[in-house]
Structure formats: C-alpha cells, structure tokens
Amino acid sequence: MGDGTGSRIAVPPRSYYHALMTESDDGLPLPQRYWAILTIVLGIVMAVLDGAIANVALPTIALDLHASPSFSVWIVNGYQLAITISLLPLASLGEIIGYRRVYLAGLALFTLASLFCALSHTLLLLTLARIIQGFGAAGIMSVNAALVRYTYPRTQLGHGIGINALVVAVSAAVGPTIAAAILSVGNWPWLFAVNIPVGIAAVMVGRRALPHTPRGSHPFDWRGAILSAATFGLGIAAIDSAGHGEAPYLFVTEFAVAAIACLVLVRRELSAPSPLLPVDLLRIPIFALSVCTSVASFCAQMLAFVALPFYLQDRFGFSAVQIGLLITPWPIAVGFSAPIAGRLAERHPAGLLGGVGLVVFAGGLAALALLPDHPSVTDIVWRMALAGGGFGLFQSPNNRTMIAAAPRERSGGASGMLGTARLLGQTIGAALVAMLLARDPLNGTRIALVVGVGFALAGAALSALRLSPAGARGGQAVRVLEAPRATGE
C-alpha cells in the first residue's frame, strides 16, 4: 500500500491488534462471552471435583490395587502437592505467554492425565498420573480468575467472580455425593474417565472462545519458581504432618526449610518488576487484607467440611446417604447467595459484605455445634443453609476485590494468589481437624466446629479492617479499574 509519495506504510503485526483489542474492548462480545464462561466453568468443575472425589474413593482404590492405606494416600497428596508447588509459577507464566495458553494447556494436560488415571493398574502408575493431573489442574486454577477479568465487562466483574466462586464452592461440596453416585454404578476408573469427553469439549470450545490477553516482556523466573515450590510445598507438607501426628523432627525440619526458602524468595522478589510471588500486590493494603480474610475463611470452611460427616455420623447416627443429603443445603445456599453477592459488590464495599457474610457463616457453624441431642432434619437443614449463605455472601466480593485491586497486567499474580490463599486455608483447616480428632475422638468434631467459628470471626474482623482509611488503600484502584471507560478512550 502506498501513501502517494512512493513510501510504504508499515503494517503492524497481528499481535499488535490482539494487544490493542484486549486493552480497548470491555469484555468479550456475546455470544463469545457465554462460550468462554462455559469453558472456564467446565475446567474449574473438573479440577475441584477431582480433588474431592478421590478422597471418597480412596479405600475402594486401595483395596482394588492391593495397596496399604499409608501408601494409597499419595493418590490424594500427589494431586494436591502438584497444585501447591505450581500455582504461582503458572500464574506468572500466564502473564508472559498469555492466560489463554496456560489455561488451555492445563485443560489438555488434565484430560490426558485423566485417561492415564483410568488406565492405571498399579498404585505407582496411578500416583504418577495423579501428579500430572495436578499440574494440569494448577494450569486451570492459576489463571481462571484472570481470564474472568478479561471475559466480562468491568461493570459485570462482580457477577463473573460470583459465578466463579459459586462453581468452586458447589463443586467442592457435592464432590463426595457425585463420587458415591459414580461408584454405585461403575468401578473407580470411571471417576477419572468421565473427565475425558468433558475435557476434550472444553479444549475445543476454549480455543475459539477464550480471550487473547496482553503478554509481558519479562523472562520467566525459574529460580523464583523453585523457591516458591519449596516454600509452599514444604510449608503445606509440614502443616499436614503436624496435623496427622507425624514425628516432630519431620515437620519441624519441613517448616525450617520452608521458612528459609520463603525468606530467600521474598528478598529476591522485592526487586523484581513483575514478581512471581506477588509482593508488589501484597503492599496494597486492601489486597493483603483480602488474602488474609480468604485464608481464615477457607480454614473455617474446611474445618466444617471435614468434621461434619464424622459429627453427624458418630454423634447422631446418620447414615452416609443421609449425611450427603443433610449437607446439600450448604451448596444450595451458596448457589443463591454467591451471584447475589457478586452483584452487590458492584455497589457496596467488600469489607462490609465480607464482614457480614462471615458473621452469618460463624453463626451457622455455632448453631451446628450447638445441635440438640436428637435433632430433626429441619434443625440441621436451616443451620447448613445459614452457614452456606454466609460463606457465599463473603466469597464473591472478596475475590472480586483481590482481582480488581491488581493492575490489569498483574491479573495473573492476583489470580494465583487467590488460589494459593484458598489452598493454604483448606490445608490448615484439614490439619486442625485431624489434630483435634486424634486428641479427642469423642468431642473433636464439635470442637472443630467451634474453632471454625473463631476463624470465621477472625476473617470478619480482617474484612472489616478494609473499611478503615488505612485498610481501604487500593480500594480506589478497584473502583477506577472496573469503572466503565469513557467513549473514545
């Protein structure tokens, strides 16, 4: 093409238009947005469900593979460990090569590993397949919130985060029920085989629908990734070892090595322009408070999730089927409150919504701990619904604040930290339940619910601090970043 003077006009590369479109467009157009949301939801459902259903099937798998319980637990631990050590590195990689690529690669790896799991005939092969599956799940979970930010218009970000939170909470809660249903009609390989057609469909749809996002120019921090893996991997392993009564020298050594790795990592990341461990984001008070609130709340949630089946069975004599039905009001209540909270977050501060939600959540847990000796179904159902409704009211605004407080180019770091906070809280909660049950088998489950009340109230207090002038710093960025852009910008 000429300009009339014989000179040629340079045509920008295709990547330039991708970057321009991503920066200027306010979310994806319809119906592409719906297909992108479907892809994100399918990935989250598979990743979260597989973490929950393996727990239920573990005795069956161990018996079929002639494995001891102590070794078969690695079917679960290997999956969780792979997610733990790769969540932040993959979120950082998403900022460099694009969140879409990391998500699709995670989906494809998870689907392929599901096939390997279904075909495994020894404990070693199944454990290796589960570790690979965990890395795939980390690819899905590390950047899903960042993709949500680029999928929805700014004015609907809270709604999108609310759907995300709903899917995570409901998937975790109904996982045991789905596992029981699959095992009632088939053997354990079907728990993994059902992922294959869903995963293939999600990859095919995602290739066409997921948004292209800007890419960073900084190199990937391999040393930081190794230090991050050591920090979170050994730290969570130490918490788990302490909760299950392992030898003190073991978890003390794990804690010590994790602490040293953490100190070296923080010193290294303080000078990095786009740190793998998002210390730059943790300097934003509202972001840091939201992370702490998330850890406390998920700790309370896991205390309840692990303790409640034992509590209802051992204390009140309910069967496994009855327990599954009695816990169902919890995810149903989350399903109602999370999307509503996401919309409320567009008009009201997360500190207020999160604080109220966690107080309601604490009230539900306290009411469950104070169940009468012979409770009716109604006595249990309304308490479950109260706890689930409160948790759903907290989670969506809190997650929205974490994502929106970060600059758009640091959405990956915020998304990775969101997943890490959830995983850390859940690990602490599960370890505390194990510790309480070991020390007091008779009353440990009720004590766990009371401890959960304490964590929920601590989370409410942390959430309320975001309403103070010091704690709200960075909240203005949330409002500005997510405000509709002026015409012609």
pLDDT of residue 244: 67
Residue 294 included in any domain: yes
Reported as a pLDDT band with limits 50, 70 and 90, residue 400 is confident
Structure-model confidence comparison of residues 24 and 51, the more confident one: 51
Residues 265 and 380 occupy one common structural domain: no
pLDDT reading at 387 higher than 90: yes
190 in the same domain as 108: yes
Q: What is the mean pLDDT of residues 30-56?
A: 85
Which of the four pLDDT bands, split at 50, 70 and 90, describes residue 133?
very high
Better pLDDT: 349 or 306? 349
The domain boundary residue, chosen from 212, 231, 262: 212
Q: Are both 55 and 158 inside the same structural domain?
A: yes
pLDDT at res. 475: 54
With a CB cutoff of 8 Å and minimum separation 6, the contacts of 165 are: 334, 338, 342, 392, 395, 396, 399
The better pLDDT of the pair 161, 378 is held by 378
Residue 481's pLDDT is what? 44
Low-confidence winner among 29-38, 223-232, 320-329 (lowest mean pLDDT): 320-329
Q: Which amino acid is at 28?
A: L
Most confident of 5-19, 58-72, 188-202, 322-336: 188-202
- If asked whether residues 253 and 195 sit together in one domain, one would say no
What is the pLDDT at residue 320? 67
CA-nearest of 341, 247, 323, 272 to 92 is 272
Structure tokens at 188: 């354990």
Residues 438 and 320 in one domain: yes
Summarize the confidence of residues 167-186 as an average pLDDT.
76
Q: How confident is the model at residue 474 (pLDDT cuts 50, 70, 90)?
A: low
The model's pLDDT over 121-130, given as tens digits with 9 standing for 90+, comes to: 888 899 899 9
- pLDDT at position 294 is 92
- Per-residue pLDDT at 473: 64
Same domain (yes/no): 154, 259: no
d(CA 166, CA 154): 19
CA–CA dist 210, 40 (Å, integer): 8
pLDDT digits (tens, 9 = 90+) for 103-113: 999 999 999 99
Q: Which of 171, 192, 212 is the last residue of a domain?
A: 212
Find the domain containing 230 and state its range: 222-271
Say if residue 83 is in the same domain as residue 172. Answer: yes
Mean pLDDT of 26-41: 87
pLDDT single digits (tens) 239-282:
777 776 777 888 889 889 999 998 998 888 887 777 888 888 88
Looking at 98-102, 159-163, 379-383, 446-450, which range is the least confident one? 159-163
> Does residue 328 sit in the same domain as residue 463?
yes
Q: Cα 185 to chain center, whole Å?
A: 30
Most confident of 153-157, 210-214, 323-327: 210-214
In a domain? residue 236: yes
Round to whole Å and give the CA distance between 87 and 97. Answer: 15
Same domain, 176 and 63: yes
Residue 195 in domain:
yes
Q: Is residue 5 part of a domain?
A: no
- The answer as to whether 178 is a domain residue is yes
* 9 lies in some domain: no
Residues 312 and 366 in one domain: yes
Contact partners, residue 486, CB within 8 Å, separation at least 6 = none
Length of the chain: 489
In a domain, 202, yes or no: yes
**Same domain, yes or no, for 36 and 119?**
yes
Structural tokens at position 366: 């306290």
Q: How confident is the model at residue 11 (pLDDT cuts 50, 70, 90)?
A: very low
Task: Output the pLDDT for position 483.
Answer: 44
Of 161, 182, 212, the last residue of a domain is 212
Number of domains in the chain: 3
For residue 302, what is the domain's CATH number?
1.20.1250.20
Q: Are residues 31 and 156 in the same domain?
A: yes
Measured between alpha carbons, how far is 189 from 482 in angstroms, rounded to an integer? 44
Decide if 231 is inside a domain.
yes
Assess contact for 134 and 80: CB atoms under 8 A: yes
